[in-house]
Structure 1
Amino acid sequence: MSFTSGRPEERRQITDARALRALAHPLRLALLNHLMAFGTQTASQCAEVIGSTASNCSYHLRSLARYGLVESVDPEDGRERPWRTTATGLQFGRSEEPGFAYGAESVERALIEKQIDDEAELTRRAIAQRSELPPEWRDASMLSGYALRVTPDELRELGEKLDALIRPFIGLTREDPPEGSDVVALHLNAYRHPDAGLS
């Protein structure tokens, strides 16, 4: 599986309702997540991992390209054209911010819920394969949960510090990753506990 790293960092926030709707399609979101994790890939390579056909993946990659989320690149061998994301990180629009498209709130929510479901499924698959991992990867894996007591400002500061620690390891932007490195999924979620007002 090919991987192109060392790109300049470009994080983008998506607030356009049409782009959010395009991403809300399960296969398109899976394609975008795959390209974010593994770098430049052909439609055939994506299809093999995602469980679809190359022609279907190609159709949905072209749809994502219409909204500027992916782009095709020149093939090295003159055969199938590979695709890559146009940004190295994405944030979905926040409906409370100025400029957020009218009517996009429900699309944003559905997209976030789909992303949460996909992350949970990815974690389940990782746990199911845990016994097959080499011991060094098994020992390095983390599944941790914390109940913090913080102010909104402290939570924001904590998020910024964690982001600063993690950012140098992003696969799409990391130059010359050391031998033995591989793609790792890391998901961090922090929010006021939904039951906080009840206790």
Structure 2
Amino acid sequence: MTSDRSDLPPRRVVGTEALAALAVPARFAILDHLLSAGPRTASQCASVVGESASNCSWHLRALAKVGLVEPAEGAAADGRTRPWQATAAGFDFSGDAGPAARLARTAVEGVSAQHANDAFHRYLARRDPLPDAWTDVSGAHEYALDVTPDELRALIDQLDALIRPYVRPIRKRSPEGGEIVHVTLRAFPDPGVRGDHGDAA
């Protein structure tokens, strides 16, 4: 995915090894948390992703090995109290085109979809106490588009250019009243109607 906004920091292109690391749900959740919340320690990640601090420390080292996270500036030497941060404001997993990369990419996309679904269900379970200002604008929006591959690519690029200025690592100072909001975009040929676009006889 590319963006027309040349003033935004580029996504870091990563390869098969990083994809394989992210296919572990806990690691995907940790990286997502660092991108959403900023630098965090293994103990702080543990309370969010449902793993022990020692497990999170191990996962963070695995993510660092493939270039997805790094110790935050001025980080302490001790593993559990050391804050970690994502190495980029976003990542591009389209770098490798071989069979291993395709398998790893499919696995990561499945983990990503499940992670997003779980987060949305947690939101639904805790929605009632939220202010109306948030519940009025939150929710699921679904569209069935009739597009060509080129049109879909152009549309995603346009949406990306609109959305990326607001992502947490780029918009470092949250405005008054701001919250971290997850926006999930999935685009794929509908398997229920693919190849069946013609009029009924």
TM-score by length of 1: 0.85
* Identical residues among aligned pairs (%): 43
Larger deviation, residues 101-110 vs 178-187? 101-110
**Residue 28 (structure 1) aligns with:** 27
**Aligned residues, how many?**
187
Query: Aligned with 1:188: secondary structure?
Result: coil
Deviation sequence 1:20-56 (CA, Å, 0-9, x none): 1111112111111111111111111101111111111
Equivalents in 2 of 1:11, 1:112: separation in Å? 17
Distance 2:10 2:149 in 1: 27
Q: CA RMSD in A?
A: 2.0
Query: Separation in 2 of the partners of 1:53 and 1:23?
Result: 18
- Encode CA deviations 1:57-106: one digit per residue, 9 max, x unaligned: 11110111011110002457897210000011113236xxxx53452221
Alignment match of 1:198 (pick from 193, 196, 199):
196
Which secondary structure state, in structure 2, belongs to the residue aligned with residue 153 of structure 1? Answer: helix
Pair 1:153–1:10, CA change in 2 (3 A): closer
Q: Does the CA-based 8 Å contact 2:76-2:83 persist in structure 1?
A: no
Q: Which runs of 5+ in 2 are unaligned?
A: 1-7
Q: What is the letter of the counterpart of residue 94 of structure 2? A: G
Alignment of 1:75-154 (within 5 A): 75=74, 80-93=81-94, 99-154=96-151
Which runs of 5 or more residues in structure 1 are unaligned? Answer: 1-7
- Tell me which residue corresponds to 1:60: 59
The alpha-carbon deviation at position 186 of structure 1 amounts to 0.3
Contact 1:168 1:174 in 2 (8 A): yes
* C-alpha contact (below 8 Å) 1:74/1:81 kept by paired residues: no
* SS of equivalent residue, structure 1 residue 41: coil
Q: Structure 1: how far apart are the matches of 2:174 and 2:108?
A: 31
The change in CA–CA distance for 1:53 and 1:21 in structure 2 (over 3 A counts) is same
1:176 Cα offset (Å): 2.9
Distance in 1 (alpha carbons) for counterparts of 2:140 and 2:25: 25
Query: Partners of 2:99 and 2:73 in 1: how far apart?
Result: 37
